[in-house]
Structure 1
Amino acid sequence: MKAGRHRNFYKDIALDQAMEVFWRNGYPGTSLSDLTTAMGINKPSLYSAFGNKEQLYKSALDNYVQKHGVIHAEHLIAVDKCLSDRIQCYLTSIAEMVTDPNLPGGCFVCVSTCELGSSCIPTDASQTIFKINEVTKHSLTEFFNKEMSEGNLTSERSPAMLANYILSLQFGLSVMARNGASLTELKEIIKVSTDQF
C-alpha cells in the first residue's frame, strides 16, 4: 500500500513535468527524449505508466485544466463584486498565470488550439482540445445566461456571443504573454476590454 502511494506520487510529478514540456514546446516540438529527460524515466517506463506520446499529451492537457484552468472561474462567482469587477478579476487571474515566470508562459490549451490548424496533432488529441474549449465556452455561456436572468447584465448580445468574446480575450492574453507582454500591459488590455460590462 505504501509503495503504491509512492508510485502515484512520482507519477503525478512526472505528469507535471511532461505537461510543462508540451506546454513550452507544443506537441510536434516535443520528442520522446524531451519527455523522458524531463520526467527522469526511460521510454519503457513512460509507455508503462502513461501509454504513448498522444495518450501522455491528453493526460497532460487534463492535468493542466485541473491545475491551471478551472481555478480562475471562482472569480466569476464572487458574491462581493459587481459583474464588471468579477470579469476583470477572472481575466486578471488568467493574465497572472500566463505571465508567471515559474511556468512555461501563455496558456497550454491556447498553444494546443493554435496547433490544430495543421496536421501535427493526432485525431484523438485534437478532440480533447476541442472538448476543453467547448466546455469553457459552455460554462461562460451559462454564466452570462445567469447574469442576465438575475438582472446583472443588460446586453443586445447573446450569452454565447459574450462567451466567445471572453474566450477570445483569454487566447489573446496568452498569445501576448508568449510574445513577451508584461502583466501590466495585459491588465491595461483587460481594463479596456471589460469596461462594457
Structure 2
Amino acid sequence: MAGKKQFDVDVALDAAMVQFWRAGYADTSLDDLSRATGLNRSSIYSSLGDKESLFSRCLDRYARRYGDRYDQALAGASEEPLGAVRAFFEVTLRRIADPDVPDGCLVAQTAMAIPALSPDIATRAIDVVGLQRVRLRTALIAAKLTDSDADNFAVHIAAVNQSLAVMSRAGASQKQLHTIVDISMSALSQALRAPRA
C-alpha cells in the first residue's frame, strides 16, 4: 500500500525481545521499545500489541528458540543420559558466551521479577519455567531414573540452569560456570549408577 511503511515483524520481535532481555519487563518503556524496533508507538500497538502482549510474544519466542535447542540436546537421553544433560547445559553456556545476545536469561530475569509483574505475565513465566522441568523429567525417565529421582533431578537441573544465567550476569567466569555444571553432572552420574530397587 502506497505511503505505508513496511517492516519485518520477526526482526521487530527479535529487537523487542533483546530489549526486554537486557532491561527486564518493568524497566522497559514504550520509548525503549520504539528505539529498539525502529517503530513509533502507534505502529507498535497496531502491529505488535500493547507492552504486556508484546512481552508475552517475546517470552514465547525466546522459550521456543531455546526450548528447541534444549529438546535437541536431550533427545539422546535414553542412550547417553550424561551426554544429553551436559549438552542441555551447553545450550545455556553457549548462549551466555554469545556476544550477540544480552547476558543472562530472559526467563530467569522474568521469574525473579514475578512479584512486580501482572498476574498474566507472572503465570506465563511460571509456565515457561515449568516446561523446563517437564522437559528434563521426561529425559531423565528415558534415562531410567526412578520417578522420584527424575522429579528431584529435573527440579535441581532446571534450578542450576537458571542460576548459570544469574551467576553469569553477576560476573562469574566461564570456568566457574563449568564447575557448577560439573558438580551437578557428578551427582547425576552417581544417581544413574545407583542400583535400581
Q: Does the 8 A contact of 1:99 with 1:182 survive in 2?
A: no
TM score, norm. by length of structure 1 = 0.86
Aligned length: 185
Q: Does the 8 A contact of 1:113 with 1:129 survive in 2?
A: yes
Structure 2 distance, partners of 1:106, 1:61, is 14
Q: Does the 8 A contact of 1:99 with 1:177 survive in 2?
A: no
Cα shift at 1:184 = 2.8
Q: Structure 1 stretches (4+) deviating beyond 2 angstroms?
A: 78-82, 155-158, 182-185
Judged with a 3 Å threshold, the aligned counterparts in structure 2 of structure 1 residues 170 and 192 are, in CA distance, closer, same or farther, namely: same
Q: Which amino acid in structure 1 is aligned with residue 124 of structure 2? A: T
2:134 corresponds to which of 138, 146, 162: 138
Greater shift in the superposed pair: 160-169 or 179-188: 179-188
Residue 181 of structure 2: aligned partner? 190
Identity %: 29
Q: What are the ranges of 5 or more consecutive residues in structure 2 without an aligned counterpart? A: 190-197
TM score, norm. by length of structure 2 = 0.86
Residue 98 of structure 2: aligned partner? 100
Matches within 5 A, 1:29-44: 29-44=27-42
Q: Does the 8 A contact of 2:77 with 2:139 survive in 1?
A: no
Cα shift at 1:16 = 0.2
Greater shift in the superposed pair: 17-26 or 134-143: 134-143
Structure 1 distance, partners of 2:35, 2:117, is 22
Matches within 5 A, 1:67-146: 67-78=65-76, 82-116=80-114, 118=115, 120-146=116-142
Structure 2 distance, partners of 1:59, 1:125, is 11
Structure 1 distance, partners of 2:71, 2:172, is 23
Q: Write the deviation string for residues 119-153 of structure 1: whole angstroms up to 9, x where unpaired.
A: x21121111111111222122112222221xxxx4
Cα shift at 1:14 = 0.4
Q: What are the ranges of 5 or more consecutive residues in structure 1 without an aligned counterpart? A: 1-5
Cα RMSD after superposing both structures: 2.2
Q: Which amino acid in structure 2 is aligned with residue 136 of structure 1? A: Q
